Chain A
Amino acid sequence: MRKSICCFVFCLLFMAPILAASAPAYSLGTMQPINVYVTNPGKTVPIEFYIFNAYGNRVTHVVISVVENLDNLQVQLPELKTNMWNISGIMTPIQEHIYIEPMPLVAEKPANPPEGIYYLKTTNVTDYIPAKKVTVNVTMPANAQLGTEYKLTLMADANWYGELGTAQVSQSRPFAYRLLVVAENYSETLYNPSGGAGGGWSLGLSNEMVFGIVIAVLVIVILFQQFRPKRHR
């Protein structure tokens, strides 16, 4: 009896990793380093975000789209490829901008990192997150008004293949950006019609003028006092 229980426990322990590996875990991890870009009229801004698959056990296939572009900015997405995947022996064509295999966290950056893999740090773990970078080029209008803020929203839609089910499940992740247009060269001048150094109340008159007016009023009052007809008692 004891022997059979030990055998059963051993089998469970042995089988557990295999069972765990067979249960799909669909992972979509993203890092958005910047959400506000400062740019110039006519310039192309490389917008970047990262995608990772740290805890999943299936390849994450990602398609990127533009979901908000009210100002019709010129947006160049990465190349949409149709890759042929051998999924459990079945050749499957998949359209994707980027894919990312399961890549667990690593304690140290490899000396020779694989091409196209970046190692991200985040606040809450000491390990590095292997990730792929997505770059979307956005060209600002040449006649963009300085100070104008443009909005752009991208969406990453992730899909997984290889499992049959009544309802397939996908994940989506939006990335919202603001692009602020400024002049290419820095300049800073005081724009103050009164010409003063600022501060305090102002009627648009300089201090000299105010003082002059006060003095003029005083002069008029004194003259009036001096030259007014005296009453004779």
Chain B
Amino acid sequence: MNSGRIAIGLVIIIALVAMLVFKTSTMPAGYAATSVINATSASVSVNGVVDVLLLNAPIAFGSLDPNTAGTAATVNPMYVNYTALTNVDVETYLNGSNFTATGSYFAIGNMSYNVTVSATGTANTSCTTARCRYTTAPRFVFNETAPIGVSKNASVFHYIDVPSGQLATAYSASIRVCTEQIGVIVCRT
């Protein structure tokens, strides 16, 4: 019986000593162990530059008769030049507004285009293998990797159909070339 009490007493003493040891070795809340190596991340951002030059704009077709189809612009193509200053990957969308004149109009869908891009760019294949028709909603036409020092060209060849029965007058429309850094996802809306 005595040996049992001694064992109990020893266990309690060991427990008390161990609790004291643990208590002193525990780091107070809010402090980090000094042996931890703290890493501070260093970051730097390169300013994003997008520079686009349009050549052979505006787009002119001259005087046309009603009910003519596929007439090429008087100066083709319109160049979309991503200048050497551009340092981000970019993509370009095209859309347009209807042709209007006093008392008459016809849809922008009568104007069409096909495109070519540089070796490092990618185009909407619908608009390289055939002609895409302009829409009021933007359509992706091509993207280009960051030129960074070497400008790159894309070409847009324009054509027009004049519907029959159209009032003889001067019509005008507007074309929008929206270019954004890839990932911004605004031009398509």
Write the residues of chain A forming the contact surface with B, with a CB cutoff of 8 angstroms.
Answer: 23-35, 52, 54-56, 67-68, 120, 122-125, 129, 153, 155, 157, 160, 163-174, 176, 189-190, 192, 195-197, 206-208, 211-212, 215, 218-219, 222-223, 225-227
Contact = CB atoms under 8 A, between A and B. Distances in A.
Given A23-B55, A171-B179, A227 B4 contact: yes
B178 A207 contact: no
Interface of B: 1, 4, 7-8, 11-12, 14-15, 18-19, 22-23, 26-27, 29-33, 45-61, 78, 81, 83-85, 87, 96, 99, 111, 147-149, 158, 160, 171-180, 184-187, 189
A163 B53 contact: no
A73 B52 CA distance: 30
B184 A176 contact: yes
Given A167-B59, A167-B96, A197-B27, A122 B87 contact: yes
Given A123-B87, A166-B60, A215 B172 contact: no
B57 A26 contact: yes
A171 B27 CA distance: 61
Contacts of B15: 211-212, 215
Given A26-B57, A167-B96, A197 B31 contact: yes
B171 A166 contact: yes
Contacts, number: 188
A190 B186 contact: no
Classify the secondary structure of B's interface with A.
mixed
> Which 8 A-B pairs have CB atoms at the shortest separation, nearest pair first?
A165-B58, A226-B4, A174-B186, A29-B51, A197-B27, A215-B15, A169-B57, A172-B178
A144 B129 CA distance: 51
Contact of B58 (A67, A166, A219, A225): A166
A213 to B, nearest CB: 10
B48 A169 contact: no
